[in-house]
Amino acid sequence: MRSENENNRTPDEETRVPEENGGSWKFWRNAKLSIHKKLFFVLLVVSAVSFLILSIISLVGMHIIWEGVGAGGERMGHKAAEFTEDFAEDTIRGQMISVVAEKASRTERVVSLAAEEVEYISGHLDRILRQPADYKPRILPQASQGPVPSGKTYVNISDRVRQTEGITAFNEEIWLASNIADVFESMADYYPACFAGSIHGYLIAADVTADGSDKTFSDYFKRDYDPRTMGWYTLGTGRQKPAFTNVYTDSNGVRSVSIAMPYHYPDGSEAGVVGIDFNPKEVDDVISVIESSDLIMGDASFVLSPTGEVMFSTQKEGVLAISETRRDLRNSEEISLAHAAAIMTQGGTGIATITADGKEYYLAFAPIQSVGWSLGIVTNTESVLKLAQQARENIDAQTDMFRHALRSLFIRLAIWAVILLVGIFLVLFFVSEKVSTIFVKPLLTVIDGVNGIAQGDLDRKLNVKTGDEIEHLADCVNTMTDELKEYMNNLSSVTAEKERIATELDLATNIQEGMLPGIFPTFSGREEFDLFATMDTAKEVGGDFYDFYMLDEDHIALTVADVSGKGVPAALFMVIAKTVLKNATISAAGAYAGGGEPDFAAVVGQANRQLCENNKEKMFVTVFFGVLDIRTGVFAYVNGGHNPPLIGRAAGGAPRAGGSLTWDYVQIENPGFVLGVRKKASFTVEHLTLRRGDTLFLYTDGVTEAMDEEGNLYGEEQLKGYLDRAGNKETAQAILAAVKSDVSRHVGAAEQSDDITMLALAFYGKQSGQEPAPQEA
């Protein structure tokens, strides 16, 4: 039922959005969502927000890592590239040094071997000349006699030498020295020429022809050749060690290097110079074969003589090629080259950057110590730098690839994160929905059960076993239902009892009201007066009553009374009081027949005594009782502790005849005591005379003590004031209605606390009769 009422809420209520502070919270509170939806939203929002924060942190973290790693990677790449560049350069330079040292060492071995052969020849000749007894004279073919086989030893004494030296004097020496022939011929396989030039001008030699044909001799050779004029002779003479010529082209057009040193007579003086021709190709081979290596890009290698001349070179032209002019590189115009050449000739080892032929080179050099040469290898710096540059570019490219890979990884991760976010959000959605349902299901069971109970099914039991507050709630509802059931069982009996009592009270009220003369006009046909009475009971059956009855043709008794208290006791007491008073009055009314007036004080006294009988509860009644003689207007009255009535004196006739009333309270000299409590209470009869048009107004304290909401009494002053202002009515009924209306206005919304009983009698007197009615004052 409740939910239906909620659904019937006006749209205005539903869409009302709070405007105060904390609007969202109020909105949440005011949003008429079911717990299921609220729980669902809370779960969903909390989960989603947590996940969102996590995702943002992850993405931001990833982004920071990406930035950091990317930048770091880039820096690292640059550093690595720089390092690689330096490293490549250093490596190449280092390798150049190592290669040049190794080449120098190999060259050294090649030339040392040849030098050792020369030393051997020299020593052998020295021994031959020192120990002639050990050798037989040997006669070798003479060049002048014609060609000799290739590689065979021969002797040449040119014509000019014969003429100048008188060579025959040395024949024995020539024959002795000719024993070197075996040595020469043993070396023929390795050296193209072995020779010994005597200080006396003869030559012993063995030549190997290029094609293996016999050695032929030129005319010059036979006629003018003098070994002592040869370069190799002048080079070798005076030496302790073999000396090397520069590379030269011999008479046969073959490039050659001669190695020469002296040989000696037994006395130590020089007997001549021996030498061999050394094929420079061996050195060329050594220096030109660069080890296969990725890094070494030797552009050229060369051998520098102690005098700074290029002896061997892989360069065919340029400053590093073999120079016909025997130029000294130490004097080169290129300072860097000249400086490096100077270090090389001094036997230095190292690497330098030089400029040659307008290009920059690295020059690595190492000495060939046994011959005083220096081997140099040059590599174009551009190629080295290019290599290093390539390495750097390679690393840079790798770095870029790394960055791109990282970027695409990040994007992939971000896409996956978003997909995951959506996926997890969907999962959260369904999980939240499910969890909400699980949580709310017991509640729905409770709601369903409570609805059933609300529709009257008190035997319904809620079966919720969740072990939480909802189970507790369900238990409470079960207990409440049990108690409700028991209560309702009790209630129905109590209600039945109450209903019975209420019915009886209603009955009592009806009986009470029925006891009052209630049919108006009561005295139809009576023109002497107009009488009207009302009693508005308060909630409960009350104790007020009014009464009027004719005692005989001319006397009407009026009573207004108020029993103390309320309810059935008061009603019963009222019945007794009314009955007792009426009985006593009627009993006494016989006095009229005798022409006198009954003793109303005694009447009231008798009623009082009767009421005092067995009145242990001290119930009492206030009574205003009076009897009007409608012929004379004399009104005899007794007051038993009751409010004094009002009398409206007419001026200019009755209101219905256009006159007006002036109201005042009836003067009561002896108020008398209330009836029912004091047996000995005495009462006094008082009289007043009504004139035509005068009106009596009797009431109970329900009128003057009617209270408004503030607790203010209507009051006697106000009652009189109102009657003066508005009591000028044509009928008694109209007067009562006006007063009732004014009292109601005063009471307002307050509850009527007491019975309001009023009685009004307008006296007109006998219109025709023996005794005229009293005239107006």
Partner 1 sequence: MKKEFIQSEAAGPNGWTVWGVSGRIDITTAEDAYARGEEIVRKSGKTALDLSEVDYVSSAGIRVMMRLFDLAEDNGKEFTVVGAAGTVARVLKETGMDTLLQMQETVNDLP
- Binding residues for partner 1, rule: CB under 8 A, are 562-566, 618-620, 622, 639-644, 671-674, 677-678, 681, 701, 705, 710-711, 713, 715-716, 753-754
Q: Are 277 and 250 spatial neighbours (Cβ–Cβ below 8 Å)?
A: yes
What is the spatial distance between Cα 244 and Cα 370, in angstroms, rounded to a whole number? 11
Render the burial of 357-395: b for 16+ CB within 10 Å, e for the rest.
eeeebbbbbbbbebbbbbbbbbbbbeebbebbeebbeeb
Taking the complex as a whole, the smallest distance from the CB of residue 569 to partner 1 amounts, in Å, to 11
What is the spatial distance between Cα 533 and Cα 579, in angstroms, rounded to a whole number? 18
What is the spatial distance between Cα 104 and Cα 367, in angstroms, rounded to a whole number? 6
Among candidate residues 144, 129, 142, the one with its CA nearest the CA of residue 177:
129
Q: What angle do CA 298, 303, 308 make, to 5 degrees?
A: 125
Taking the complex as a whole, the smallest distance from the CB of residue 663 to partner 1 amounts, in Å, to 18
What is the spatial distance between Cα 431 and Cα 545, in angstroms, rounded to a whole number? 78
Taking the complex as a whole, the smallest distance from the CB of residue 574 to partner 1 amounts, in Å, to 12
What is the spatial distance between Cα 9 and Cα 12, in angstroms, rounded to a whole number? 8
Query: Which token pair is 603?
Result: 């009447």
Taking the complex as a whole, the smallest distance from the CB of residue 671 to partner 1 amounts, in Å, to 5
What is the spatial distance between Cα 645 and Cα 355, in angstroms, rounded to a whole number? 151
- Nearest residue (CB) to partner 1, 181 versus 674: 674
Among candidate residues 739, 714, 730, the one with its CA nearest the CA of residue 764:
730
- Nearest residue (CB) to partner 1, 449 versus 542: 542
Taking the complex as a whole, the smallest distance from the CB of residue 707 to partner 1 amounts, in Å, to 8
Q: Are 628 and 635 spatial neighbours (Cβ–Cβ below 8 Å)?
A: yes
- Nearest residue (CB) to partner 1, 179 versus 643: 643
Taking the complex as a whole, the smallest distance from the CB of residue 562 to partner 1 amounts, in Å, to 6
Query: Which token pair is 431?
Result: 């999980």
DSSP secondary structure, 544-555, as one string: EEEEEEESSSSE
What is the spatial distance between Cα 374 and Cα 93, in angstroms, rounded to a whole number? 18
Taking the complex as a whole, the smallest distance from the CB of residue 563 to partner 1 amounts, in Å, to 8
- Nearest residue (CB) to partner 1, 433 versus 536: 536
Taking the complex as a whole, the smallest distance from the CB of residue 735 to partner 1 amounts, in Å, to 22
- Nearest residue (CB) to partner 1, 79 versus 618: 618
Taking the complex as a whole, the smallest distance from the CB of residue 437 to partner 1 amounts, in Å, to 56
Taking the complex as a whole, the smallest distance from the CB of residue 564 to partner 1 amounts, in Å, to 4
- Nearest residue (CB) to partner 1, 18 versus 565: 565
- Nearest residue (CB) to partner 1, 166 versus 567: 567
What is the spatial distance between Cα 302 and Cα 337, in angstroms, rounded to a whole number? 13
Counted residue by residue, the chain has a size of 777
- Nearest residue (CB) to partner 1, 643 versus 695: 643
Please provide residue 731's backbone torsions phi and psi, each rounded to the nearest 5 degrees.
-125, 160
- Nearest residue (CB) to partner 1, 644 versus 653: 644
Query: Which token pair is 673?
Result: 């005591």
Taking the complex as a whole, the smallest distance from the CB of residue 568 to partner 1 amounts, in Å, to 14
The dihedral region occupied by 248, where left means phi > 0, alpha psi between -120 and 50, and beta the remainder, is: beta
Taking the complex as a whole, the smallest distance from the CB of residue 719 to partner 1 amounts, in Å, to 13
- Nearest residue (CB) to partner 1, 202 versus 624: 624
Interstrand relation of 621-629 and 555-563 (parallel, antiparallel or unpaired):
antiparallel
- Nearest residue (CB) to partner 1, 348 versus 569: 569
- Nearest residue (CB) to partner 1, 367 versus 640: 640
Half-sphere exposure of 460 (CA within 13 A, CB side): 18
Among candidate residues 617, 635, 613, 634, the one with its CA nearest the CA of residue 626:
635
DSSP secondary structure, 125-166, as one string: HHHHHH-GGGS----PPBGGG--B-TT-EEEE--HHHHHHHT
What is the spatial distance between Cα 639 and Cα 622, in angstroms, rounded to a whole number? 8
- Nearest residue (CB) to partner 1, 9 versus 678: 678
Taking the complex as a whole, the smallest distance from the CB of residue 618 to partner 1 amounts, in Å, to 5
